[in-house]
């Protein structure tokens, strides 16, 4: 394997970043899809997280839970992008919202869920996606988001209520009540 002056390996099978990528990429994209509301955005923030792992290889190789580290980085990248997007929309007076692309691999139920999640405040969407889609315990959601456990519990409670209402609205629009 070729090693550059920064200590990066060419990405062979024994490379910790490569092993983590192979084991975690799809799962992280699925989790971030719920956070971002866009599959393309989810793929981009996860790719950015892996790029940062490569750039900070020594740090990444020392973390106890590399997937959790990547998830936290991806959430933070998504937050930064969302803030910049809001600012950009304000500066352009809200023009040109991007259409939502349909991915053939995603079920109709998953698409309806993500559309409903998109209607929630970002803080509730992040908590719900990380707890239910990423299957993280409340304490880990709190650590990932950098907030107290009680804050996560409140966001989950409010988010579940709002999500149920949004899903009921979606069911009515799509042909009748759920059940």
What is the structure's pLDDT at 167?
86
Neighbours of 84 (CB within 10 A): 10
112 and 167 Cβ atoms separated by less than 8 Å: yes
| Residue pLDDT, tens place only, 103-162 | 556 677 878 888 888 899 989 999 998 898 888 899 999 999 999 999 999 999 999 999
What is the structure's pLDDT at 4?
44
- Helix axis angle for 16-36 and 39-55, nearest 10°, is 150
Q: Is the pLDDT of residue 1 over 50?
A: no
- pTM of the entire predicted model: 0.66
Q: How far lies 1's CA from each of 8, 9, 63, 99, 115, in Å?
A: 10, 6, 23, 43, 45
What is the structure's pLDDT at 37?
86
Closest CA to 155 of 65, 40, 35: 35
Q: How far lies 169's CA from each of 2, 48, 120, in Å?
A: 56, 35, 13
For residues 145, 146, 147, 149, the Cα torsion angle rounded to the nearest 10 degrees is: 80
Transcribe 1-15 into DSSP letters: --B-TT--B---TT-
Distance CA 70, CA 25 (A): 10
What is the structure's pLDDT at 146?
92
Segment 43-59 shows an average pLDDT of 94
Closest CA to 72 of 54, 43, 45, 51: 45
7 and 58 Cβ atoms separated by less than 8 Å: yes
What is the structure's pLDDT at 121?
92
| Residue pLDDT, tens place only, 53-91 | 999 999 999 999 999 999 999 999 998 888 877 666 666
32 and 42 Cβ atoms separated by less than 8 Å: yes
């Amino acid at each position: 394997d070729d090693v550059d002056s920064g200590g990066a390996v060419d990405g062979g099978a024994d490379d910790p970043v490569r092993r983590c990528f192979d084991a975690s990429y799809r799962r992280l994209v699925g989790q971030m899809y719920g956070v971002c509301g866009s599959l393309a955005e989810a793929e981009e923030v996860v790719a950015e997280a892996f790029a940062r792992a490569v750039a900070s290889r020594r740090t990444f190789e020392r973390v106890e839970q590399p997937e959790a580290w990547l998830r936290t980085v991806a959430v933070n990248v998504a937050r930064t992008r969302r803030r910049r997007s809001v600012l950009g929309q304000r500066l352009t007076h809200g023009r040109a919202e991007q259409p939502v692309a349909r991915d053939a691999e995603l079920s109709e139920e998953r698409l309806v869920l993500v559309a409903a999640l998109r209607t929630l405040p970002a803080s509730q969407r992040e908590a719900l996606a990380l707890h239910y889609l990423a299957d993280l315990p409340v304490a880990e959601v709190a650590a990932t988001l950098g907030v107290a456990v009680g804050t996560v519990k409140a966001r989950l409670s409010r988010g579940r209520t709002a999500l149920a209402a949004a899903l009921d609205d979606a069911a009515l629009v799509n042909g009748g009540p759920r059940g």
